[in-house]
Amino acid sequence: MILCIDTSTTVCSAALCRDGRAEAHLELFECNAHASSLTPLIERLFAVQGIDPLRDIDAVAVSCGPGSYTGLRIGVSTAKGLCYSLSRPLIAISTLRVLAAAVAEVCADAQTIVPMIDARRMEVYTAIYDSQLRELSPARALVVEPDSFAELAAAPGLCFAGSGAGKCSSVLDLPNARFLSDVHPLAASMAGLACAAFEARDFVDTAYFEPFYLKDFVATKPKNKVF
């Protein structure tokens, strides 16, 4: 039994997974609520399923980025705290791969999957996967232009998905592509990836692991200061 956590975007989610599938999951579609909502969400999940984490949980998996700087820190710190208290291993899974897995769940004909997480303006965090969730192009921060994915013009089953996909649909000249802006990286979609990582003993060092931000965090000063 693996507890999966995703707080990389505006959605806060948790799931209990076994044998490659989510047995139970909860999602909260509310911005800026991760810090106050994640732990109660996990507690509710345990209570509804009658789970004793000390007895029943074998590992904790977390979506590790790229994504929201604050959201990632909340999810990873919560996952690490649980791993310490339960003496369980930590599994880290790319948020873009989780998003690609969510696309594969809803689109049986998706063969070339381009997950996109909005990074403001015309920038996105993106990568390219095949239908088996194998990485064809690594994660990168990209300012989207009309010819950004020209090499995929003839790619079969081309799907762009995620919070960054909607704003790119009118920019990219790819008539063969589908744009799914309402697909999100969710903890339930981590099930197969988390279980495969557990079987392979693909764990990260709980003490030293940090989220994959992809870009350095830049603090900005407010335009109107209140004294």
How does DSSP assign 131-188, residue by residue?
TT--EEEEEEEEE--TTTTGGGTT-TTEEEESTTHHHHTTT---TT-EEETT----GG
pLDDT tens-place string over residues 41-64: 999 999 999 999 999 999 999 999
Query: Is it true that 2-95+185-199 and 96-180 share their CATH fold?
Result: yes
Helix axes 191-199, 95-106, angle to 10 degrees: 120
pLDDT for position 227: 45
Q: Give domain limits for the chain.
A: 2-95+185-199, 96-180
Phi, psi of 149 (to 5 degrees): -120, 35
pLDDT tens-place string over residues 65-102: 999 999 999 999 999 999 999 999 999 999 999 999 99
| Overall fold of domain 2-95+185-199 | Nucleotidyltransferase; domain 5 (3.30.420)
CA dihedral for 54, 57, 58, 61, sign (positive or negative):
negative
Q: Is the pLDDT of residue 220 over 50?
A: no
For 50, other C-beta atoms within 10 Å of its C-beta total 7
d(CA 150, CA 189): 29
pLDDT for position 224: 56
Span 96-180 CATH architecture? 2-Layer Sandwich (3.30)
pTM here is 0.92
Token pair recorded at residue 136: 């064809």
